Structure 1
C-alpha cells in the first residue's frame, strides 16, 4: 500500500434535496473516527474542515425543476476550487457530503487534471436526470448528467469547461431505482451499469473485476469513486434520505472497496448522503468509515 497525503474536505449542504439533516453528514463521519482510522493505516491525513455554505437566499425566483439552484452553484463552485487546490498540492481529495449534488463540484475540480478520468458511481440511483426529466426538481438527482455536459448551463459550466467526464468512462454499480428519462440517457450515452440484477447474478467479485478491466481498456488516467451510502441496503445504512430496499450488502461493499484499493487506480473519492437525523446511533457514518478503511488499505493481518 502506498502512503497517501489525504486532504479531507467537508461539504455540509442539503441544498440538493428537500430532507433536512444531510448537511450534518461530514460531522457524523468525523465523529465516527475517520481521521484516526486512516492515520492508523499509515496515511498522512489533513482535515481541511468544511467549506463555507451560505444560508438560503430568500426571495429568489424558485424554479421547480431546479430547486435551490443558486445555492447549489455556490457550493459546487467552492468545492471545485478546493478540490483543484488539493490536486495542485499533490494531495488525495477525500470529500464528505452532504447530498450527492456535491459531486458536481468534486468532478469540476478533478476534470481539469485528467484527460480521461474514470468514475465508479456506487449508488442506488443513476443521478442522470436533467431539468426536463426530473420528477422532483432535486439537483442531487442530476450530478452525473451535469458532469457529462447535460443540464442547466451554469451548473454544466462550473470552472468554465464542459464536460467534466466522458459518459463512456462512467460505471454505475448498485442501481435499482432509475427514472424513465435516465434509462433513455443511459442507452443514448453508452453508460455502463451494473444493476442489482447483475450483482446478484454475477457476484460482486466479477462485477468489480469487469468494471476495472473495462476502465483499463479505456486507458483512464485516474479513477474517482463517488459512493452514496444508499447504494447499500438500508438494513446497513438507515441514515440516508432516499433508501431503496434490496441493495448491496455490507460484505459485498467491503469487497468492492478492497478490490478497488488493490487495483492501484484510485485517485480521489467522495462519500455522500449520510443523514444523522434519520440514522440509528450513527450507524451509517460508522459504515462509511469502515468502508473507507477497506478502500484505503486496512487489513486484518
Structure 2
C-alpha cells in the first residue's frame, strides 16, 4: 500500500547542538522552500521536529538522544503510513532511521564521500559522525546503541551500496571491503558514469527495501562548499538528479536521509537548492512507482 504522506523528521543538530555547523543545513533547506515544493507535487507533508537535547551530557549523550528520538519518529511515521524523510545535520541520523524502520533484512544505498565505518580505535580526525555505520553494525559504542529503540546489529554483506565513496584512507578502504559493501568509487582522475553504474548494480540484485542516504558532500568539490570535507571525484548536480530519479524505479525505498551540509561556508543557497531539487526528483519517482500517493 502506498504511503499516504511524507513526514519530514526535522533534526537540525550537530553533536547534539541545535543549528551548529551542519546542524544549520536543515534550516537553510527548509527556508528555501523544500516543503512547498514537495507539496506542489500533490503529496501531503507532515513535520516532526526533534526537540532540543540540551539536558543530556556532552556530545555523546546529546547525540545518542537525538538518535533515540529519530528512531521513535521514524517508527511513528511508519505506523501512520507516512514515508520518513530525515532532514538532518549529522549523517549518523541514518542509524536512528534504520532502528526505527525495524526491518531485519534492510538494504542501504549510501551517497557519500566517506564510509562512516570508523570506530573509536580507528578514527583519526575526532569526528564522532564518522562512526555511525560501525555503531549500527555492532562494532562500536555498544551500550549506547542498545538504548536506541529497535536497535539490532546490522549485517552489511551484500546489502550495502556506496555511490561516490572516495575520501578514505587505506584502513577505511579495508574496513569497507571486510564489511562486504559494494562500491561505485569516485575517481578524481577520470569521469565516472554514476547513474549508469547505479543502474547496473541495481539490475544485478534486489536491494528492496532500502534505506537511502544522501550526504551532500558526495558532490564533487567543483560544485561548491558543502561542509568543509569536499573532495574531487564526486557527483555533479546532474548525476545526483539522475540517480534520485532512477533509484525508486530499481529498488523500493523505505526512508530517505539528507544530511551533512553547512550553509555558512559561502555556497549555502546553491547547495541547498541542489538538495531541494534532489529531494523533489526523488519524491517524484516515489510517486511514479506508487511508493507514495498523491492527494485525490
**TM-score normalized by the length of structure 1:** 0.85
Q: RMSD in angstroms over aligned alpha carbons?
A: 2.6
Q: Deviations over 1:50-82 (max 9, x none)?
A: 201323756x6xxxxxxx221211111111111
- What is the CA distance between 1:243 and its match in structure 2? 1.4
Aligned partners of 1:43 and 1:281: how far apart in 2? Answer: 27
Residue 142 of structure 2: aligned partner: 153
Aligned partners of 1:16 and 1:244: how far apart in 2? Answer: 26
Correspondence for 2:127 among 127, 133, 138: 138
Is the 1:108–1:164 Cα contact (8 Å) retained in structure 2? no
Runs of 4+ in 1 over 6 A off after TM superposition: none
Q: 1:142 to 1:16 in 2, by over 3 A?
A: farther
Correspondence for 2:194 among 174, 187, 204: 204
Q: 1:142 to 1:199 in 2, by over 3 A?
A: farther
Correspondence for 2:117 among 107, 120, 128: 128
Residue 8 of structure 2: aligned partner: 8
Correspondence for 1:194 among 161, 184, 187: 184
Residue 290 of structure 2: aligned partner: none
- What is the CA distance between 1:231 and its match in structure 2? 0.1
Tell me, yes or no, if structure 1 residue 274 matches structure 2 residue 261: yes
| Structure 2 counterpart SS, 1:171 | strand
Structure 2, unmatched stretches of 5+, are 286-296
Q: 1:117 to 1:56 in 2, by over 3 A?
A: same
| Structure 2 counterpart SS, 1:126 | coil
Aligned partners of 2:31 and 2:215: how far apart in 1? Answer: 19
Aligned partners of 2:246 and 2:35: how far apart in 1? Answer: 22
Residue 67 of structure 2: aligned partner: 76
Residue 64 of structure 1: aligned partner: none
Q: 1:166 to 1:16 in 2, by over 3 A?
A: farther
Q: Deviations over 1:119-149 (max 9, x none)?
A: 1110111111011100023221111222222
- What is the CA distance between 1:38 and its match in structure 2? 1.1
Aligned partners of 1:99 and 1:236: how far apart in 2? Answer: 21
Residue 231 of structure 1: aligned partner: 218
Q: 1:228 to 1:281 in 2, by over 3 A?
A: closer
Is the 1:73–1:155 Cα contact (8 Å) retained in structure 2? yes
Residue 38 of structure 2: aligned partner: 38
Q: Tell me the number of residue pairs that the alignment of Structure 1 and Structure 2 aligns.
A: 283
| Structure 1 counterpart SS, 2:230 | coil
Q: Deviations over 1:253-286 (max 9, x none)?
A: 1111111133361221010012121142521111
Aligned partners of 2:16 and 2:234: how far apart in 1? Answer: 22
Worse-superposed segment, 118-127 or 155-164? 155-164
Residue 245 of structure 2: aligned partner: 258
Is the 2:156–2:180 Cα contact (8 Å) retained in structure 1? no
- What is the CA distance between 1:168 and its match in structure 2? 2.5
